[in-house]
A and B are shown apart, each in its own frame.
Chain A
Amino acid sequence: EDQVTQSPEALRLQEGESSSLNCSYTVSGLRGLFWYRQDPGKGPEFLFTLYSAGEEKEKERLKATLTKKESFLHITAPKPEDSATYLCAVLSGGYNKLIFGAGTRLAVHP
């Protein structure tokens, strides 16, 4: 059964303190791994799609990487406005069904 596990559940950082979020996945034939950002009470906002091991994508202070078993979201010199829940998901099944992890709640303090 396809499964996504994210760690840690919650992370508290000081402004400027870089760190990484982990997403481990089990899927029969990866067709895509997605990172989303979600602010409280709002819908997920698309960040990145990764398709194959070794692939990397960057956007401002965020960088996503992919291996055969996991993905990392690296946050460099975070700011308070980076505080949010970060969700990881994989495509599953013959149609475009996303399997999500529970998310990592990130809090960045000044």
Chain B
Amino acid sequence: ETGVTQSPTHLIKTRGQQVTLRCSSQSGHNTVSWYQQALGQGPQFIFQYYREEENGRGNFPPRFSGLQFPNYSSELNVNALELDDSALYLCASSSNSDTQYFGPGTRLTVL
């Protein structure tokens, strides 16, 4: 059974740029959630996708957007990057159970 994978592992961008992060969900999982984790803090919910539709959103501005594809993989897009966007971005997948399984994360640094 393949777990949740994310790419890239690390990314360095400058302020104002745009970035796309990718996530492949665990086999059999149809729901993908994205979280942002700043250093020393717990993950914060960005949004969730279920069967290609946004299913819920946290307190993040519209420049954070996402997609889910028919194979349940997902993308997180962030426009107009700000210094405070530097964080570990985590993707989690789940099925009909409530348990979310996390990927290894993408470390984004904004200079």
Q: Which residues of A contact B (CB under 8 A)?
A: 4, 31-32, 34, 36, 41-46, 49, 87, 89, 91, 93-103
Contact = CB atoms under 8 A, between A and B. Distances in A.
Tell which of A31, A46, A97 has the most Cβ of chain B within 10 Å.
Answer: A97
- CB-CB nearest 4 A-B residue pairs: A100-B42, A43-B102, A95-B56, A44-B102
B2 interface: no
A91 B43 CA distance: 13
A36 B45 CA distance: 16
A32 B94 CA distance: 14
A49 B99 contact: yes
Mostly, the B contact residues are strand
B98 interface: yes
Contacts of B41: 102-103
A44 B99 contact: no
B99 A98 contact: no
